[in-house]
Amino acid sequence: MVSRVIPVDPFDLVIFGGTGDLARRKILPGLYRRYWAGQLPDDARIVGASRHEMPDEEYRAMVRAAIEEFAIEGRDDAARIDGFLSLVSFVAVDATGEAGWSELAEKIRPDLIQAYYFSVGPSLFGDLAERLHKHKMAGKETRIVVEKPFGHDLESARDLNRTLRCYFSEEQIYRIDHYLGKETVQNLMAVRFGNVLFEPLWNALYVDHIQITVAETVGVGGRGAYYDRSGAMRDMVQNHMMQLLCLIAMEPPYHFDPDAVRDEKLKVIRALDPVPPEDIVRGQYAGAEGIESYFTDVEDEASLTESFIAMKLHISNWRWKGTPIYVRTGKRLKARASEIAVVFKHPPHSVFGQKTNDRRGNVLVIRLQPNEGMNLRVTIKEPGPGGMRLIEVPLDMSFAEALGPEAADVPDAYERLIMDVIRGNQTLFMRGDEAEAAWAWTDPIIAQWEEQGDRPKLYDPGSTGPEESLMLLYREGRRWRDIQA
């Protein structure tokens, strides 16, 4: 398979927070990979911006180090690294002051696409938008990219939307959720809406339940102070998992067009039922030999913040009424794995006389990480003599196998999304009303914990979370899929 890389139009990309962790680990290495692939035009410009003065050469050395650490595999070529670095420069700018703005404004070419990536703390998003406007750096072809978290609750998300919209139209605001940039997530839409096989079965009549798992092995690490104000609900469920849920559950859009897709996602969020306390399990990791507990990591023995959450959700619409959707996410779990599993119902009658317990429905697993891909579990006859004995086998839709090794070399989520920004395609970005609707659903759940002083259950590091989360499914005759890397 020969991949088709279509170069994007010339652009100026300013990365506010260009010396930060996200810029070094994801944004700059991602841009280098796109350069390597031939997608960046020779007259593209990438400008790093943050408060501390540094000559262009020093910034380029930092970018080179980031490429060598995060993007060098298979792309180690001094001339091409130099070629990429020739597109890069730096300006010292203070988001909250006046320093550096005139110099930055002079660098921007008003007749081209301008993309401003807000890779700074969320408290600076409003300041940046205001100053871009004040210094006349925003035109028709301007886009701003806003990192997560988009607000802390409904009120702050509304305030942020209002502030950004004072200076930019909704069509210019790209709220990034890197889960939407994953290859498999887009494949999920291709599989659902590009085939007739799945869609007729994609409803409460045939789907027993859906599981969405995002499991991490790491703890909160150096992000303890931030994480403790957020917790798994705000950090993962309100944004990433909600987006996955929307793509799984939405109606087919009339066209693969940004607003058509986002309209359908919004309807899913609005149809989510409130969640009663008995359908929620919150957890916090305990310590073990050589592993600090959550309390120690966040330096607060009294913290009531969850590092794990499992929930049973219901969508009240014609398609999904009665089909539970179980979501769980947590830190310090037994493996790093993210997947969506659509578990279909049993065949209504067993022609082969299996006992009910021996019968399993088909399961479609959409694997986000590691080993992106999909597999469909089907029942077949066990080969050989001995009558009609049934076994389950995975029908593996491994893209790499079917499409050749190039299929494994797909752009990572950030690369793809940055190119979408340049192309002006908002399909894989959250719209303002989606973000607000997600908070409107999340806020009452969190408020209830806070009112009641709800204490998360402790769980062992390396486990699958608190025992109680298993009961969420056991009590209904179901079980979680194992968390496997």
Binding residues: 17-24, 51, 148, 178, 182, 216, 235, 331
Q: Interface with ligand NAP includes 94 (CB under 6 A)?
A: yes
Q: How far apart are CA 330 and CA 392, in angstroms?
A: 29
C-alpha distances out from residue 16 to 144, 167, 348, 473, Å? 11, 17, 57, 45
For ligand NAP, the binding residue among 119, 161, 239, 284 (CB under 6 A) is: 119
For ligand NAP, the binding residue among 63, 66, 95, 340 (CB under 6 A) is: 95
Tell which positions 123-162 bind ligand NAP, by CB under 6 A.
Answer: 124, 147-148
Q: How far is the CB of 347 from ligand NAP (least distance, A)?
A: 43
| Host H or E run for residue 29 | helix 28-36
Indicate the residue among 53 and 77 with the shorter CB distance to ligand NAP: 53
Indicate the residue among 91 and 247 with the shorter CB distance to ligand NAP: 91
For ligand NAP, the binding residue among 85, 88, 120, 180 (CB under 6 A) is: 120
Q: Interface with ligand NAP includes 20 (CB under 6 A)?
A: yes
Of 48-56, 161-169, 337-345, 419-427: span binding ligand NAP (CB under 6 A): 48-56
Q: Is the peptide bond before 370 cis (omega within 30 degrees of 0)?
A: yes
Per-residue HEC secondary structure of 186-255 comes to HHHHHHHHCCCCCHHHCCCCCEEEEEEEEECCCCCHHHHHHHHHHHHHHHHHHHHHHHHHHHHHCCCCCC
Q: Interface with ligand NAP includes 237 (CB under 6 A)?
A: no
Edge-first strand order for the sheet with 11-16 is 88-92, 45-50, 11-16, 113-118, 142-146, 173-175
- How large is the angle between the packed helices 432-452 and 154-167, nearest 10 degrees? 150
Q: Output the six-digit token pair for 217.
A: 């092995």
Of 116-124, 233-241, 402-410, 417-425: span binding ligand NAP (CB under 6 A): 116-124
Strand 173-175 versus strand 88-92 pairing type? unpaired
For ligand NAP, the binding residue among 96, 316, 371, 484 (CB under 6 A) is: 96
- DSSP category for residue 31: H
Q: Interface with ligand NAP includes 22 (CB under 6 A)?
A: yes
Q: How far is the CB of 92 from ligand NAP (least distance, A)?
A: 8
Of 119-127, 134-142, 255-263, 267-275: span binding ligand NAP (CB under 6 A): 119-127
Q: Which residue, among 112, 166, 163, 164, has the nearest Cα to 137 in the 3D structure? A: 112
Indicate the residue among 180 and 210 with the shorter CB distance to ligand NAP: 180
Q: Is 240 a catalytic residue?
A: yes
Of 15-23, 303-311, 369-377, 393-401: span binding ligand NAP (CB under 6 A): 15-23
CA contacts within 13 A on the Cβ side of 232: 28
* Binding annotation for substrate: 178, 182, 216, 235, 331
The number of residues that bind ligand NAP (CB under 6 A) is 22
For ligand NAP, the binding residue among 122, 287, 347, 424 (CB under 6 A) is: 122
Q: How far apart are CA 377 and CA 394, in angstroms?
A: 4
C-alpha distances out from residue 93 to 47, 54, 67, 102, 134, Å? 11, 11, 23, 9, 14
Q: How far is the CB of 223 from ligand NAP (least distance, A)?
A: 8
Contact 434, 269 (CB under 8 A): yes
Tell which positions 260-319 bind ligand NAP, by CB under 6 A.
Answer: none
Indicate the residue among 150 and 459 with the shorter CB distance to ligand NAP: 150
Q: Output the six-digit token pair for 87.
A: 């597109």
Q: How far apart are CA 72 and CA 374, in angstroms?
A: 28
Of 47-55, 268-276, 290-298, 350-358: span binding ligand NAP (CB under 6 A): 47-55
Indicate the residue among 21 and 382 with the shorter CB distance to ligand NAP: 21
Q: How far apart are CA 16 and CA 116, in angstroms?
A: 7
Q: How many residues does the chain have?
A: 485
Q: How far is the CB of 93 from ligand NAP (least distance, A)?
A: 6
**Which x/- pattern, by CB under 6 A, does the window 51-70 give for ligand NAP?**
xx------------------
Q: How far apart are CA 468 and CA 230, in angstroms?
A: 22
Q: How far is the CB of 10 from ligand NAP (least distance, A)?
A: 25
**Which residue out of 152, 240, 255, 314 is catalytically annotated?**
240
Q: How far is the CB of 104 from ligand NAP (least distance, A)?
A: 11
Of 46-54, 154-162, 326-334, 359-367: span binding ligand NAP (CB under 6 A): 46-54
Nearest-10 Cα torsion for 67, 222, 367, 153 = -110
Measured from each CB, the residue nearest to ligand NAP is 20
- DSSP category for residue 459: E
Q: Output the six-digit token pair for 245.
A: 């849920």
C-alpha distances out from residue 90 to 50, 103, 252, 419, 478, Å? 8, 10, 44, 21, 55
Q: How far is the CB of 141 from ligand NAP (least distance, A)?
A: 23
Indicate the residue among 208 and 228 with the shorter CB distance to ligand NAP: 228
Binding site for ligand NAP (CB under 6 A): 16-23, 50-52, 93-96, 119-122, 124, 147-148
- Residues marked active site are found at 240
